[in-house]
Amino acid sequence: MSNFEEIIVSKQAVPTFAVVILALIFGFGLFLVGYDQGHLFSIIQGAEAFDDLFIHELTHDMRHAAGFPCH
Amino acid sequence: MKTARFIALVLLAGCFAGIIHGTANLVIVEPYLDEAIGIENQNLFSSGEKQDTPEFWVEYSSYRDWQKGGQVLAGAILGTSVGALFGIIFAFSRRSLPGNHNVKKALILAGIMWLTIYFIPFLKYPANPPTVGDPETVVLRSILYLSFIAISGFGALGFYKLSNRLDKGKKIAVILGYAVFISIIFVAMPQNPDEVTAPMDLVIGFRAMSVIAVSIYWIALGIILGAFWQKLQPDKSLQTYTS
Ligand SMILES: [Zn+2]
């Protein structure tokens, strides 16, 4: 006969992999909303992206509203 | 800790809080942005740079609609990324945060982060509506703003680490230490070089609404992430032993 026992184990260690992923997302998202002036799309679109300012216009109002420096 | 569950709950909580932030902006901040951009248009007309023609307004409203539509999407992106930072810090500090419910713990951390990486930097470099900022100084202003946030954030983290080495009764000294530290930085950092030329009541109204909307974000983030954590318990796992 065997008894089953269920216990809740608390694993405190924060996985490094998760921290790296979350830190990358933090940096990327902050740059996109706060600072991009066409950089992201220039990777695929070339120099034209800096004139189109696709991301800049899209995130523009949030940039002002969230307190990032703008125009 | 369950890695996938942890990442997913953090990102989802940030995204939801960000959508709430973007929606709040649409309702309470946009009217001020419209007013500021209206002044900008008048300046363009009076300087002769643009003509007050129907074509101008067609083009204007198409990109303004695009910018407004972006509020919610940009809110989701910004919310997710700030939420990611919040999730990392929450995972490391959860056990030392006061309270026995994760929503309470998350709200306390959200309050600390709101103060140190948002509100104190805001007091030094307040948000401005369109027309105030000089495009020539945007890089300098970005560097100043980011540096101040980083100094304040890392300063708070440093004093927190210090507090772990002190007895319970001396913790107040750490808060005082941070207050002195950030006051010195506050005075020492250079001012925003731009002069505010827009009407002051427009600027003040805009700033007040901006603070309210960002504060709504931090409250929502604390509640949502705390509730997800409480429900999903990513740091606990059920194990079955046979004896
Ligand atoms: Zn702007």
Residues B108 and B209 in one domain: yes
Cβ neighbours, 10 Å, residue B92: 13
Domains in chain B, number: 2
Nearest CA in chain B to A67: B127
Domain that holds residue B208: 3-116+199-232
- Mark yes or no for CB contact B81/A68 under 8 Å: no
Task: Report the SS3 class of residue B2.
Answer: coil
Residues B214 and B186 in one domain: no
- Mark yes or no for CB contact B6/A15 under 8 Å: yes
Q: pTM, whole model, 2 decimals?
A: 0.90
Residues B107 and B150 in one domain: no
Residues B160 and B209 in one domain: no
Nearest CA in chain A to B69: A58
Interface mutation target, options B81, B95, B125, B242, chain A, most CBs of A under 10 Å: B81
- Tell me whether residue B239 is in a domain: no
Give pLDDT tens digits along chain B (243 positions).
889 999 999 999 999 999 999 999 999 999 999 999 999 899 889 988 888 999 999 988 888 888 888 899 999 999 999 999 999 999 999 998 999 999 999 999 999 999 999 999 999 999 999 988 888 899 999 999 999 999 999 999 999 988 888 877 778 889 999 999 999 999 999 999 999 988 999 999 999 999 999 999 999 999 999 999 999 999 887 666 665
Residues B36 and B85 in one domain: yes
What secondary structure, in 3-state letters, does B137-200 show? HHHHHHHHHHHHHHHHHHHHHHHHHHHHCCCHHHHHHHHHHHHHHHHHHHHHCCCCCCCCCCCH
Residues B191 and B215 in one domain: no
Question: How many cross-chain Cβ pairs, A to B, lie less than 8 Å apart?
Answer: 176
Looking at this predicted complex, what is its ipTM? 0.90
Residues B71 and B25 in one domain: yes
- Tell me whether residue B11 is in a domain: yes
Q: With the C-alpha atoms ordered B78, B84, B85, B87, is the resulting torsion angle positive or negative?
A: positive
Mean pLDDT in consecutive groups of 10 residues from the start of chain A, 71 residues: 62 88 97 80 67 75 94 87
- Tell me whether residue B43 is in a domain: yes
Residues B46 and B102 in one domain: yes
The minimum CA-CA distance between A17 and chain B, rounded to whole Å, is: 8
Residue B152 forms contact with A (CB below 8 Å): no
Residues B48 and B96 in one domain: yes
- Alpha-carbon B190 to chain mean position: 22
